[in-house]
Amino acid sequence: MSLTVLTYLVVGASFALYIGIAFASKARSTGDFYVAGKHVHPVANGMATAADWMSAASFISMAGLIAFLGYDGSVYLMGWTGGYVLLALLLAPYLRRFGKFTVPEFIGERYYSDVARVVAVICLIVISFTYVAGQMRGVGIVFSRFLNIDIGYGLLVGMGVVFLYAVLGGMKGITYTQVAQYCVLIFAYTVPAVFISLQVTGVMVPQVAFGSEVAGGGYLLAKLDAIVTDLGFAAYTSGTKSRIDVFFITLALMVGTAGLPHVIVRFFTVPKVRDARASAGWALLFIAILYTTAPAVGALARLNLTTTIQTGPVGEETGNLPYEERPEWFKTWEETGLLTVEDKNGDGRIQYYNDANADFAAQAENFGWEGNELTVDRDIIVLANPEIAGLPDWVVALVAAGGIAAALSTAAGLLLVISAAVSHDLCKGVFWRSISERRELMAGRISAGVAILMAGYLGFNPPGFVAQVVALAFGLAAASLFPAILLGIFSVRINKPGAVAGMLAGLLFTVGYIIYFKGVVVEPFAADVAENWLFGISPEGIGGIGMLINFAVAFSVSALTREPPEEVKAMVRRIRVPR
Amino acid sequence: MKKSSHWGDNLRLVAICLVVWFVVSFGCGILFVDSLNRFSIGGFELGFWFAQQGSIVVFLLVIVAYVVGMAVIDRRHGVAESDEAPPDDASSHSDTDE
């Protein structure tokens, strides 16, 4: 059976499973549609949260990103897991105790203000659409790469599947499909990782193999450090970003993660406060399985790739792989254009080194090298893993299904918070308070449908700034939603003017800083280099400063204006205690 | 009276957990990574290990400690949730399914 047919079968079977689950868990009330009737078991919710959170970027791109960033890649590992500690300790239990449906609803009631609620809805929609565009793109790419069909058709199929289970089942439908999707994606991620670890180090567990000795002697990381520095790259275990930048990017990603509405809302779906606490732990456990495997995969892949090219001592002519002798997987990926070789010095061999390193230039010239000849798209690291390890075709098919599962599960979660914000916060909450439950449910389904169409459009015509706006999504969440919720729970004194002023200040500062350097829609105003940055903090890390500004403004304005009304204070005291 | 001390215990536990959270990630993984890298466990430099593996493992332990600690605090102050009926949600929306 050919690989394409096998991939169709595996991906098709996974789709049939998701759709089957959707029909079995149709939403009958708004409670089902927004929060799965609050009947979700904490372990199931942990799995669903993990699938919700781990996007196409986590599954496809992260290991490759770390492979080329080395230590600097730690910002993603710590940032995207540390946020769960904040969620578990500072937000989830109290929001569950609050007991309503959406994040803007909490902000609106806590700050007794429709304005605050609408500001929260706007932040939520910007954050979620930014994110969802990337997911739909991921679905399209996996389809076109593994199933050889046009990206547009791939997108249509993906949209159709999400439409079925998100519109029919609402939160109830996506919860149980996300559980299934987690199982598919984690299996697809760990199986190739285990085999690669075995091949390179003889140890089965990737997390252990990461710190083990490789065949031929020496520890994996020591060997990797040695070979990449010999080729002019920064040592794998030390990285190149400044300490303060690493600090603030990690902070912004952690706080941003905790402030992402589609993640927060998952903790509204469990029956009790103590389930919300436990569920965050389960979620982190399920996420950690992938997040501790990814850096191991990254290091193994970087070593694999480097030693495939640099077969002997650096600088000797025979030390480099002749182009004619390149392995089979190399050829497959060359066909996709994601891996390219250009024989710049015409010696018939491949040189892979850091030609941007001025200190290394003289040495390279000495060797007769005339520039780096290999370019590798970071995204292929995970996708090519099974081929590099020589695993059977069904594993390759599984990885394709895993990538699609990761993208669909995240997209569905995002689309649902968007539709809930429109039907529950805007329709029911602000503009049409007398709407009946049946109509509200219909409004939720319609807005989910419209959101899917818009997401599909964004996936098909990705705006040029998608890569830039990911920083924006986390920065926004860190500077607006997270502080507003946190202060709403932990301070009784923060009032409406304080919270609204704080959100706007954090928002404007963060968005302004990112646009200033990244130029979303408009041209950047200054070069995005360390010399121009405030305190040496890159736009990716500025959300942390935005959060501090939000806190400062919210406290000062609240101190100067009237205390919140008694019933709001009572509400805050109520949600602090489980019963 | 009882409730305010429940909140006090809650805050103390959260503060302790957040100190650990900060020390393993921002401390061991970032600020003191170079000093820790002079030590190693297996093939890992210690600071690098904290940044790419250890911090995640400790995060998990922090949440477990918090969940267990809060269960004790809830019980001590008599506000633990009962096992049978889920708490009454102050929600006007119907929740009729199942």
pLDDT in tens, A247-272: 998 999 999 999 899 899 888 888 88
Question: Which residues, including other chains, have CB under 8 Å from residue A111's CB and lie 6 or more apart?
Answer: A484, A488, A494, A495, A496, A499, A500, A564, A568
For chain B, the residue count is 98
The nearest CA of chain A is from the CA of B96 a distance in Å of 7
The nearest CA of chain B is from the CA of A219 a distance in Å of 5
| Whole-number pLDDT of residue B67 | 93
Name every chain A residue with its beta carbon within 8 A of the beta carbon of B80: 274, 578-579
Contact B3 A577 (CB under 8 A): yes
C-beta atoms surrounding A227 within 10 Å: 17
Whose CA is closest to A127, among A262, A280, A287, A248?
A262
Longest dimension (CA), chain B: 61
Please indicate whether residue B10 or residue B94 has the higher confidence score (pLDDT).
B10
Tokens representing A158? 């993906």
| Whole-number pLDDT of residue B93 | 42
| Whole-number pLDDT of residue B90 | 42
Contact B52 A73 (CB under 8 A): yes
Q: Which residue is closest to B54 within chain A, CA to CA?
A: A292
Name every chain A residue with its beta carbon within 8 A of the beta carbon of B95: 29, 31, 37-38
Is the Cβ–Cβ distance between A289 and A186 less than 8 Å? yes
| Whole-number pLDDT of residue A229 | 83
Measured in whole angstroms, the distance separating CA A394 from the mean position of its chain's CA atoms is: 26
DSSP alpha helix (H) spans, B1-98: 2-22, 33-36, 46-49, 55-76
Q: Which residue is closest to A38 within chain B, CA to CA?
A: B95
H or E element in which residue A19 lies: helix A3-24
Question: Is 50 exceeded by the pLDDT of residue B66?
Answer: yes
Is the Cβ–Cβ distance between A451 and A126 less than 8 Å? no
Name every chain B residue with its beta carbon within 8 A of the beta carbon of A100: 89-91
Cα–Cα distance for residue pair A419/A452, rounded to 1 Å: 10
Averaged confidence pLDDT in chain B: 81
Q: Which residue of A74, A274, A277 is in closest CB contact with B52?
A: A74
Question: Which residues, including other chains, have CB under 8 Å from residue A509's CB and lie 6 or more apart?
Answer: A479, A542, A545, A546, A549
The nearest CA of chain B is from the CA of A244 a distance in Å of 9
Poorest-pLDDT segment among A166-175, A353-362, A420-429: A420-429
Specify the residue for token string 């109520």: A574
Tokens representing A126? 């910007």
Question: Is 60 exceeded by the pLDDT of residue B83?
Answer: yes
Specify the residue for token string 């598919």: A184
Q: Which residue is closest to A105 within chain B, CA to CA?
A: B91
Contact A101 B93 (CB under 8 A): yes
| Whole-number pLDDT of residue B97 | 36
A340: helix, coil or strand? strand
Is the Cβ–Cβ distance between A6 and A393 less than 8 Å? yes
Contact B87 A578 (CB under 8 A): yes
Q: Which residue of B33, B60, B98 is in closest CB contact with A284?
A: B60
Query: Roughly what angle, to the nearest 10 degrees, separates helices A62-69 and A74-86?
Result: 130
Question: Is 80 exceeded by the pLDDT of residue A466?
Answer: no
A-B Cβ pairs (cutoff 8 Å, strict): 176
Question: Is 80 exceeded by the pLDDT of residue A480?
Answer: yes
Contact B87 A251 (CB under 8 A): no
| CA distances, A289 to each of A69, A302, A552 (Å) | 21, 20, 37
Contact A85 B14 (CB under 8 A): no
Question: Is 90 exceeded by the pLDDT of residue A317?
Answer: no
Longest dimension (CA), chain A: 80
Is the Cβ–Cβ distance between A524 and A457 less than 8 Å? no
Q: Which residue is closest to A246 within chain B, CA to CA?
A: B30
Tens digit of pLDDT for each residue in A266-311?
888 888 888 899 999 999 999 999 999 999 998 888 888 888 888 8
Torsion, Cα A172 A174 A179 A182, to 10 degrees, reads: -170
Name every chain A residue with its beta carbon within 8 A of the beta carbon of B71: 274
Q: Which residue of A254, A285, A578 is in closest CB contact with B80?
A: A578
Contact A77 B55 (CB under 8 A): yes
| Whole-number pLDDT of residue B92 | 39
Contact A247 B70 (CB under 8 A): no
Tens digit of pLDDT for each residue in A99-128?
888 888 899 889 988 888 888 898 898 888
- ipTM for the predicted complex comes to 0.88
Averaged confidence pLDDT in chain A: 84
Name every chain A residue with its beta carbon within 8 A of the beta carbon of B21: 82, 85
Is the Cβ–Cβ distance between A79 and A258 less than 8 Å? no
Q: Given phi > 0 = left and psi -120 to 50 = alpha, else beta, which region is A100?
A: beta
Name every chain A residue with its beta carbon within 8 A of the beta carbon of B41: 211
Contact A29 B44 (CB under 8 A): no
Whose CA is closest to A60, among A305, A378, A338, A412?
A378
Tokens representing A470? 């990911």
H or E element in which residue B41 lies: strand B40-41
Tens digit of pLDDT for each residue in B1-35?
444 588 999 999 999 999 999 999 999 988 888 88
Give all strands (DSSP E) within A272-429, no chain letters.
339-341, 374-376
Contact B91 A99 (CB under 8 A): yes
Whose CA is closest to A482, among A555, A550, A411?
A550
Contact A222 B43 (CB under 8 A): yes
The nearest CA of chain A is from the CA of B60 a distance in Å of 6
Question: Is 70 exceeded by the pLDDT of residue A465?
Answer: no
Burial class from Cβ neighbours inside 10 Å (0-12, 13-18, 19+) for residue A339 reads: buried
| CA distances, A97 to each of A38, A245, A270 (Å) | 12, 36, 10
Q: Which residue is closest to A40 within chain B, CA to CA?
A: B86
Name every chain A residue with its beta carbon within 8 A of the beta carbon of B96: 28-29, 31
